[in-house]
Amino acid sequence: MGDPQDTNKNSLGGETQRDNGNHHQHEPSDEDTEPALHEQHEHAEHEGKGNDHGSHEGHGEGHGGMHEGHEQMFRRRFFVSTLLSIPVLLYSETLQEWLGFSVPAFPGSEWINPVFAVVVFVYGGVPFLQMAVPELKDRAPGMMTLISMAISVAFVYSLASVVFPTQSAFFWELVTLIDIMLLGHWIEMRSVRRASSAIDELAKLMPDTAERITDDGETEEVPVSDLSEGDLVLVRPGASIPADGTVEKGDSDVEESMITGESKPVSKEPGDEVIGGTINGDGSLRVRVGATGEETTLAGIMRLVEDAQQSKSKTQVLADRAAGWLFYVALGAAIVTAIAWTLAVSFNATVIERVVTVLVIACPHALGLAIPLVVAINTSLAARNGMLVRDRIAMEEARNLDAIIFDKTGTLTKGEHGVVDMATVDGVNEDDALALAAAVESDSEHMIARAIREAAAERELTAPDASGFEAIKGRGVRATVDVSSFAGGSSDGGDEVYVGGPNLLTQLDSEIPDHLKRFADEAGENAQTVVYLVREGELIAAFAMADVIREESYRVVDALHDLGVEVAMLTGDSQDVADAVADELGIDTVFAEVLPENKDKKVQELQDQDKLVGMVGDGVNDAPALTRADVGIAIGSGTDVAVQSADVILVQNNPLDVVRLVKLSKASYRKMQENIVWAAGYNVFALPLAAGVLAPIGILLSPAIGALLMSLSTVIVAINAQLLRRVDLSLPNLPGVSPPNA
């Protein structure tokens, strides 16, 4: 792939100064979270006091802690307010009359309703007033403004009724409205909460300490933060490389898939570049440090993830838009009501009561629950079907996806090499050849050895005994194998059997039969690795090795095409490997040999074509692309950072769940629309009646009847939301696909 490290350092390593990002380092209390709470909720990733890039500790607390603090605050206020509302409900004359019960009166009991209602308003209602401030500042009234208007009018009018007795007060309506809105917001915040700890997970890839080699050749353990450019460090087998640098001594294979996306471990020898955070293989390396701290490739990826998180666009919730419309409708209706009644009966207490009734009834309990109830059921239903929803807005957007980009390694493929084809010479059957190769590779932990052994196990073959195992550097392995049970095998002492690549054949001076040469050429055209089996100096078989495509990948591409969704593939692998996989699966667009920062840009490239883009991945290198995408979908068995960067996690590691995600998103959005119609429909019906449109014929909606209709609307919305559980997420057009785990 060339020298991606140099590119990474040039494009990722520079310091980035920003003043955006809101990273509080503590769990917010009621006092410091309530002011402008809604503004923080909507703009948390756009406004704030800056961010320290030198330390990423506590980043998860910055975003996740803030949302969790808000969620816990609403939960606590809901339960306390509900408890305090009980006396108000019990001593409400309207409820006593409706339900046919009575409670004992005592001196001062007439103050129970106003006193407890005031406490509920101050404790549970004031946060909504504070959250309405940003809406009013932005001149975009929404749900918070509508709630604030209703509870404020009900509160002031009800208190006034204590001093200036009128026909009715709204104490019980006030407290129940506050309770239900607290419940709705608690459910919403719990669904929205997303522990944005991707930066922490990235930081964990870098080891805490390194073994620095001193001038006298000794090693000393030092914190990674103490390393400087030019230091020489020892990287032992299996250890994480502590910084970007250049190999000065040693040979090893380095696992770079979590950074570059390359599916195969990359061979490293003196002069090669290595990336901090990648995993060393079986050999020891001495690495000259070239970049540390903020200059490393990993730090650059961390900044990309953070940039993508902060650049996510604000998407307004349907219910909030409906509430905005309703706010203006309610104000207009109140003004018209005041004018009409004043002209009809002159200005008096009746006019005020009519106007107050209109403004209070304008705030629907049902609209406050219409979306959160669907979101909660959607989240539960998705979880039972192997999908964890971390961002409700992304879940809503999934229904409109124009293109879905899949990472290749570990997503469309298994991320591990396997035997995909083989050929043998005349007189040797495939099972015997595979068993011989498995015997030779029995003591090796190389990925090719594991692939050959797994292929033999799948065919239920028994490998013969082998001895004298020897690794031939850069060429392959050899062993003495008991082949007495094989055709043409010797009966004493065993045969000398080799497994290796083209360099092995050169060393052994083995001739390649024409049909095996054609087999190797064809495999090369398909970007497959070929290894050979040599017995007693004679080449008898060839095996084609490749990253194995998941069986589900064929089906998911077809299913998404049926839904009209474009399928793209994004990979750090070579163009040949990517094209081979894309041709096999029928993928529309291929992005190959893509470095981490360009994966992010490729998503943006499709978005610039006015496409709503989903991204499915599992590696650290996918994290910026996952967060940049409109809908980021992580394979659950992937790295922690990919999971933390995603909006939806596929727990069962099954790409077909992407199709179910789109279907569930469509069904959930339909329920949201239906619930908004039911909730807003109540207002369309109740507001004119409350205003007195039918008063000339003796029909006038009283506050009590309005409250009854409000409750009925809430029940209908709740029942309709429950019907989402009956949505069919099976894939009938794909034979052989197992049904979801509903």
Partners of 22 in the β-ladder: 50
Whose structure tokens read 């005031």?
Answer: 118
Q: Each residue of 687-715: b (16+ CB within 10 Å) or e? A: bbbbbbbebeeeebbebbebbebbeebbe
pLDDT in tens, 470-487: 888 778 888 998 877 665
Residues 355, 335: Cα–Cα separation, whole Å: 8
Most confident of 45-49, 152-156, 250-254, 442-446: 250-254
pLDDT higher at 549 or 31: 549
Q: Which three-class secondary structure state does DSSP give residue 695?
A: helix
Whose structure tokens read 């230091």?
Answer: 231
- Among 327-341, 377-391, 515-529, which stretch is predicted with the lowest mean pLDDT? 377-391
Whose structure tokens read 């007195």?
Answer: 692
Residues 332, 330: Cα–Cα separation, whole Å: 5
The residues annotated with a catalytic role in the active site are 407
pLDDT surpassing 60 at residue 153: yes
Contact call for residues 88 and 175 (beta carbons, < 8 A): yes
| Angle between helical axes of 447-458 and 430-440 (0-180°, round to 10) | 140
Residues 257, 273: Cα–Cα separation, whole Å: 15
In the CATH scheme, what is the code of domain 415-548? 3.40.1110.10
H or E, element range at 526: none
pLDDT surpassing 50 at residue 243: yes
Q: Which three-class secondary structure state does DSSP give residue 249?
A: strand
Nearest to 645 by CA among 43, 197, 46: 197
pLDDT at position 40 is 39
pLDDT surpassing 90 at residue 69: no
Which band of pLDDT confidence, cut at 50, 70 and 90, is reported for residue 656?
confident
pLDDT at position 306 is 60
pLDDT surpassing 90 at residue 405: yes
pLDDT at position 568 is 95
Q: For residue 361, which phi and psi values (nearest 5 degrees)?
A: -65, -25
Judged on CB neighbours under 10 Å (0-12, 13-18, 19+), 80 is: middle
Which band of pLDDT confidence, cut at 50, 70 and 90, is reported for residue 527?
low
- The per-residue pLDDT of the chain, averaged, comes to 77
Instruction: Please report, rounded to a whole number, the percentage of residues in the chain having pLDDT higher than 70.
Output: 75
Residues 108, 94: Cα–Cα separation, whole Å: 19
pLDDT in tens, 625-637: 888 899 999 876 5
pLDDT surpassing 60 at residue 100: yes
pLDDT at position 20 is 34
Which band of pLDDT confidence, cut at 50, 70 and 90, is reported for residue 68?
low
H or E, element range at 128: helix 126-137
pLDDT at position 128 is 87
**CA 179 to mean position of chain CA atoms:** 31
Nearest to 438 by CA among 543, 523, 513, 549: 543
Architecture field, domain 375-413+549-661: 3-Layer(aba) Sandwich (3.40)
Most confident of 14-18, 114-118, 169-173, 317-321: 114-118
H or E, element range at 211: strand 209-213
Residues 622, 615: Cα–Cα separation, whole Å: 9
Contact call for residues 5 and 274 (beta carbons, < 8 A): yes
- Pairing, β 244-249 against β 387-389: unpaired
Q: Is it true that domain 207-295 has CATH number 3.40.50.620?
A: no
Say how many C-beta atoms besides its own lie within 10 A of residue 323's C-beta: 27
pLDDT surpassing 50 at residue 714: yes
pLDDT at position 735 is 43
- Pairing, β 466-472 against β 476-481: antiparallel
**Model pTM above 0.75:** no
